[in-house]
Amino acid sequence: MGCVQSFRALCDRPKNTNVRISLPAVCFVWQIAMIILFGVFIRYDEESDTHWIEHRKKENISSDIENDFYFRYPSFQDVHVMIFVGFGFLMTFLKRYSFGAVGFNFLIAAFGLQWALLMQGWFHSLDYTDGKIKIGVESLINADFCVAGCLIAYGAVLGKVSPVQLMVLTLFGITLFAVEEYIILSLIHARDAGGSMVIHTFGGYYGLSISWMLYRPNLDQSSNLQGSVYHSDVFAMIGTLFLWMFWPSFNSAITDHGDGQHRAAINTYLALASTVLTTVAISSLFQKHGKLDMVHIQNSTLAGGVAVGTAAEFMLMPYGSLIVGFCCGIISTLGYIYLTPFMEKHLKIQDTCGIHNLHAMPGVIGGIVGAITAAAASESVYGKEGLINTFDFEGAFKNMVPTKQGGHQAAGLCVAICFGIGGGIIVGCILRLPIWGDPADDNCFNDEPYWEGIFHSKATRAAPQCDLVAAETHVCFPNRSNSAWVCFQVQLR
């Protein structure tokens, strides 16, 4: 008990947001480490190497169009836009945290995809003949998937952590992701094309557990900055629309060429459409005078894409996709209305973006739908060859039957939850240490501690000395030519 109290006392020391040494040190050292590790381990695979022409002749491949690049690159670009634009802008809803939402999203993704190529490579694409990791366009897609788990976790702690903490969160998050992905997909042999379990369930509970460990009892000191304004919600809606439009690519990006990829896109497309209608219905029903809540429209409309991910390539049937989307729109929206306040008040989980409603719960639903759909599969519906191809009943798993595959799907979901919660608690303990430059309770959800040229007012921080000190509100920008500050009076209406 004394150790726990000593740890809490250490973590509750006064905050210092000066990251002038720690942030550059982490970025430089870790990037140099990436260069060295890439030099030692990473090489092009046979389809991106100059020996491709020899491989073509050896395998009697008639055209370069057979190169996997031409199948995967359009999906890669869609997923890439989702990671950098969709997730980034979705988190710009806070009135004073747009720089942090987009900028730190950029930082996490840029570092995370490099570390993911290494971690996933060691587990999935290591060539034991030469000890090298061979990467191609599919590796890039999987790296973006890996990064998505950390960006989901970022949503839970948005505005409450420093960029150094986010780098640490990403380092451990990518590592945990690679291990749980290997266990779920390779050892347990669960199928999870769209990542309902591997990405969304893990990322959601990883972020929620970290948020629980970083609980701030006095966060109400920043309550005036936790809301949105008109233009910030419009920017967040841009992120929603990018994610909504490209989610069929996300769920189908790494499925088999042909019917599996085609079916995954259709199922996701329909589930997303159904989710929009039920989200609007529930949001209107539970608001005074039937008005819509922009939080619900920005987030819950995407829940169907999360929940259909595991079963996206299965024979879910079009009406089944609509049912999944219908249910998720209801559950996710009610989660924002009732569950998020309950979790903060009683469970001490401060979930800034509501990732429990958009990722964690729909991810669990997706895992359950995948298990039921797999267990119900039959040769009459899939065909003998279709059943083998869809569930990869080959090699060590050639004697697998659909009912047993359903159990493996359920086991995969349990692994994702355990890794998310357990890993989040451990990483949360590390992030509680007062060495990372995180903001004080009264300065959360504010770009000012970490970004230059930020709006200043009497309600937040004192502006630099200038001739407009008597003004109620003013904006100051650094003049790069002479290191002085240029200030302008702003009339607020």
Given a cut of 50, whether residue 102 has pLDDT beyond it is: yes
pLDDT band at 257 (very low <50, low <70, confident <90, very high): confident
Q: pLDDT of 361-408, one tens digit each?
A: 999 999 999 999 999 999 999 999 999 999 999 888 988 999 999 999
> Domain 65-432 is in which class?
mainly alpha
State the alpha helices, DSSP H only, in 335-446.
Answer: 340-346, 355, 361-375, 379-382, 384-391, 402-431
pLDDT of residue 467: 44
The C-alpha atoms of residue 172 and residue 168 are separated, in whole angstroms, by 6
Q: Is the pTM of this model over 0.85?
A: yes
299-325, pLDDT tens digit by residue? 999 999 999 999 999 999 999 999 999
- How buried is residue 442: exposed, middle or buried, by Cβ count under 10 Å (0-12/13-18/19+)? middle
**What would the pLDDT profile of 140-176 be if each residue is shown by its tens digit?**
999 999 999 999 999 999 999 999 999 999 999 999 9
Q: How far is CA 41 from CA 11, 119, 129, 179, in A?
A: 38, 11, 13, 18
Q: Tens digit of pLDDT for each residue in 168-179?
A: 999 999 999 999
Nearest residue to 302 via CA among 347, 348, 363, 233: 363
CA-to-CA distance for 394 and 389, rounded, in angstroms? 8
CA distance 129 to 51: 17
- SS3 for 313? coil
The residue among 164, 158, 275 whose CA lies nearest residue 214 is 158
pLDDT higher than 50, residue 459? no
Report whether pLDDT(24) > 80: yes
pLDDT higher than threshold 80 for residue 260: yes
Domain range annotation of the chain: 65-432
